[in-house]
Chain A
Amino acid sequence: MIDVTDPAFWPDFLEVLGKGTLETLWMTSVAMLITIVIGLPLGILLVGTEEGGFLGASTRRGRILNQVLGFIVNLGRSVPFIVLMIALIPFTRWLVGSFIGTGPAIVPLTVVAIPFFARVVEIAVKEVDAGLFETADSLGATRWQLVRRVVLPQALPSIVLGVATTATSIINFSAMVGVVGGGGLGNVALTYGLHRYSWAHIIAVIVILFVLVQLIQWGCNALARRLDRSRGRSRALPAHRPPDPAAV
């Protein structure tokens, strides 16, 4: 049983939580980073290779690519995380040499986050006005120029919001990897909360996770607002604007 009046309790409490928080942050950020690197192009490819998509998907190659990508993404999304985690053990062991610990936990976290994020990107890219694709064509732009200068800037605010959602999911799942010795706050809740009945630890874990998620959401919201110029920022507007009914 725990005893909060024990002088040894608090230093240990803080150390455990501090370590757990850092581990969670580490796992989440690395997994998020890899997810963006792989998921972003994947999402753009998913939309671009659709029937009539901006990457010229009327070709056979495009159609096949689209179907393969769609299949992988749906497969990744339909398997429950706990099952995926176990199923990935051989792969993780092959890739990083072990499946226990914070580092190896990043593997299943990334694998589960990529399809999720790819769908997020897909939705964001679909919101880009199709007229802009035609415009880029009329300017004789390459596909890469179109993606880099039109699709990305326009989809970025939504993608950033999607990063918040995805990071939150990764944090949730990272708690679950604690079950298989993945470390992080989930492991703290498991070893101290469940095995040693420490409510103090459970509550602290909940509070820390809540604050983390809140900070991520807040940060991403602010960034997305900065990136989105489509609604205009009243502060940036000149005080006198010529009346123009067409400017609505």
Chain B
Amino acid sequence: MITIDHVSRSYGDVRALDDVSIQVGRGEIFGVVGQSGAGKSTLLRLVNAIERPDSGSVVVDDVELSALQGRELRAARHRIGMVFQHFNLVGNRTAAQNVEFALEAVGRTRGDRKREARDMLDLVGLAHRADAYPSELSGGQRQRVGIARALASKPDVLLSDEATSALDPETTRQILALVQRLSADLGLTVLLITHEMEVVKQICDGAALLESGRVVEQGPLLDLVNTPGSRLAHDLFPLGEAPDLPGFGILDLTFAGGEAERPTIALLARDLGLDVSILGATIETIGGQQAGRTRLAIPGGGEATAQAVTFLAERGVRAEAVSSR
């Protein structure tokens, strides 16, 4: 659905994006994470051609965007909705009027605009606040209006620019649940940028980590979790700094898919006769499957640790020795 192919973009001497390639399949929710200044914003704005690449191409639904101008560009943008961190609603116009603006851009008649705007607000659960001005709405409600506006033209793609970063955790969860529901109901492909791992964990099917304009790693979330040394997996399931325990080896176990349900650690303790201590653990449901990481302390140093790693590997659990050397 979205194919970003070897794209680079510089501002003066600063390389905002450096040979970035990302593919997002139809109906997928894909998250791009990274620190501020990593190039996320620029990347997102390539997809609706608010930014243009210096080289490479951006194709959305078989349309090469970087080549479009004027009327064709506007038509392409009607197929791509966008929501913003600060909502970007027109303050002196009501919720309904803000949505109607998007419909006017598509060329709907006045009567259709009114009716469809109500429908869109209904879709995001805000029909009762249609005549409210943005200043009379809460942050979550404002973002709902933003989503209604972005989806008013019935686009295939939704771009989300830190849409929940200005919201509190509970409202964030509600907005994400809404996006997930809409994506499923409307077959919407979602590309979102965020610096919050929680967002990725809650709704993304795939993710990419962007660092100084380069994609450091990317893929389906479950694959990432299973990738040795994955930075995204570490960030998704943080276990903190490894403690310094003399006489112990520290192991980080990553579970994904079926292994999470099996009593692997109990087997390890029993079969190898090791007095394993659990230092930390985190389990989440990703894409309907359990995934998580556990940090163990293995007594006896290097040899016992190596033995444990082999034992776990044979049972399909990836273990990494985090050095307390």
Which residues of A are in contact with B by a Cβ distance under 8 Å? 129, 131-132, 134-142, 145, 149-150, 153-154, 156-157, 227-233, 236-238, 241-242, 244-247
Contacts A149-B101, A244-B171; A140 near B77 (Cβ below 8 A): yes
User: Which B-chain residue is minimally distant from A153 (CB atoms)?
Assistant: B92
Bound Cα distance A142, B168 (Å): 35
Q: Which residues of A contact B75 (CB under 8 A)?
A: 140
- Quick check: B101 and A242 within 8 Å, CB to CB? no
Q: In the complex, which of the residues B88, B91, B105, B150 contacts A141, with contact meaning CB atoms closer than 8 Å?
A: B105
Tell me if B139 is interfacial: C-beta within 8 Å of chain A. Answer: yes
Min CB gap B258→A, angstroms:
39
- Quick check: A145 and B101 within 8 Å, CB to CB? yes
Contacts A145-B105, A245-B168, A246-B168; A139 near B91 (Cβ below 8 A): no
Q: Which residues of B contact A236 (CB under 8 A)?
A: 133, 136
Tell me if B167 is interfacial: C-beta within 8 Å of chain A. Answer: yes
Q: Which of B55-63, B78-86, B193-201, B222-230 contacts A (4 or more CB under 8 A)?
A: B78-86
- Quick check: A138 and B136 within 8 Å, CB to CB? no
User: Which B-chain residue is minimally distant from A234 (CB atoms)?
Assistant: B136
- Quick check: A246 and B171 within 8 Å, CB to CB? yes
Top-4 shortest CB links A-B: A246-B139, A232-B135, A140-B77, A244-B138
Interface 1/0 per residue, B88-117 and A, CB below 8 Å: 101111000100011011100000000000
Which residues of B are in contact with A by a Cβ distance under 8 Å? 48, 50, 73-78, 80-82, 84, 86, 88, 90-93, 97, 101-102, 104-106, 133-140, 142, 149-150, 153, 159, 166-168, 171
Which of A154, A157, A244 is the most central at the interface, judged by chain B CB atoms within 10 Å of its CB? A244
User: Which A-chain residue is minimally distant from B73 (CB atoms)?
Assistant: A140
Min CB gap B164→A, angstroms:
9
- Quick check: B76 and A140 within 8 Å, CB to CB? yes
Bound Cα distance A237, B136 (Å): 6
- Quick check: A140 and B168 within 8 Å, CB to CB? no
- Quick check: B77 and A138 within 8 Å, CB to CB? yes
**Can you report 13 A-B residue pairs in the complex whose CB atoms are below 8 A from each other?**
A138-B48, A138-B80, A138-B81, A139-B77, A139-B149, A140-B105, A140-B153, A141-B101, A145-B101, A153-B90, A228-B92, A237-B136, A246-B139
- Quick check: A140 and B50 within 8 Å, CB to CB? no
Bound Cα distance A244, B135 (Å): 13
